[in-house]
Amino acid sequence: MTKFWLSERMLSRVFWEELKFSIFYEEAASDAKKIAEVTAPKVNEFPAEAGSISIESSIYLWLLSKYFAPRNVLEVGTYIGRSTLAIAFGGRDSIEQLYTCDGTFDCLDFNTLKSPDIEKVKLDTITQIQYFGKTMSTALLKELKEKGVKLDLVFIDGRVSNEDCNILSEVMSERCVLVLDDFEGVEKGVVNAMMLRNAFRGMFLVNPAVEKNSVSGNLALLVPTNLLTLTRQQGLPVNM
């Protein structure tokens, strides 16, 4: 007897397509633009350039943060804080703590990103951000483990190690979703994914979105299989 097979590619295509139809898409796009404007001047204040996420990735990160409604979030690779703000604004109804670290830089003050163009309710989320400058992911993960923190969402925009994977397994909640930037070619997202998939066998991969012009996005997800839920409703049972 045959089964009802769903491949990672099939699920990936449907997932991003539906996410783009979210009722929050316009808000995410508008926030992503404002976040880009407020963070862009920061590049000049940094001693070196490291690259930041694209507007498209910022929109998707915002929507992912809304969709998965995490309480505790970890970001690896703060740099100018563009992705941090996208996660914070999208997840403003659920996020209690957003830990973010950067191993190279220690020159970001999130309070200086408070623009009058951004609504107060969004700027208030900045109080939930805990920035760890000049801190590698391994050191922060060890600290979170000691504190007994359980993470629901981890955004990785840096390079993680095998030691990070070991500690992650102890600080991830059962519903923890991993979001990987630069998942293309032989970039760090692919290298991270190979390491993480090896460490966490019960997760399935959501490949990056394929845009209208056929250029792929570069955010991939690793989602615990136990989160997969079938619904008989036409729409999602969550407000997206």
Ligand X SMILES: C[S@@+](CC[C@H](N)C(=O)[O-])C[C@H]1O[C@@H](n2cnc3c(N)ncnc32)[C@H](O)[C@@H]1O
> For binding to ligand X (CB under 6 A), which residues are involved?
50-53, 76-77, 79-83, 101-105, 136-137, 157-160
Residue 155 beta carbon to ligand X: minimum distance, rounded to whole angstroms: 8
Burial tier of 39 (Cβ tally within 10 Å: 0-12, 13-18, 19+):
buried
Residue 161 beta carbon to ligand X: minimum distance, rounded to whole angstroms: 7
Burial tier of 177 (Cβ tally within 10 Å: 0-12, 13-18, 19+):
buried
- In whole angstroms, what is the distance from residue 181 CA to residue 35 CA? 18
Residue 4 beta carbon to ligand X: minimum distance, rounded to whole angstroms: 38
**Cβ nearer to ligand X, comparing 14 with 139:** 139
**Cβ nearer to ligand X, comparing 53 with 206:** 53
Residue 30 beta carbon to ligand X: minimum distance, rounded to whole angstroms: 18
Residue nearest to ligand X (CB): 158
Which of 85, 50, 27 is closest to 157 using CA atoms? Answer: 50
- In whole angstroms, what is the distance from residue 186 CA to residue 114 CA? 36
Residue 7 beta carbon to ligand X: minimum distance, rounded to whole angstroms: 30
Burial tier of 228 (Cβ tally within 10 Å: 0-12, 13-18, 19+):
exposed
**Cβ nearer to ligand X, comparing 22 with 83:** 83
Q: Is 130 helix (H, G, I), strand (E, B) or coil?
A: strand
- In whole angstroms, what is the distance from residue 73 CA to residue 87 CA? 9
Q: Is 219 helix (H, G, I), strand (E, B) or coil?
A: coil
- In whole angstroms, what is the distance from residue 145 CA to residue 179 CA? 20
Q: Count the neighbouring beta carbons within 10 Å of the beta carbon of residue 239.
A: 12
Residue 101 beta carbon to ligand X: minimum distance, rounded to whole angstroms: 5
**Cβ nearer to ligand X, comparing 27 with 157:** 157
**Cβ nearer to ligand X, comparing 76 with 123:** 76
Which of 90, 80, 95 is closest to 30 using CA atoms? Answer: 90
Residue 151 beta carbon to ligand X: minimum distance, rounded to whole angstroms: 15
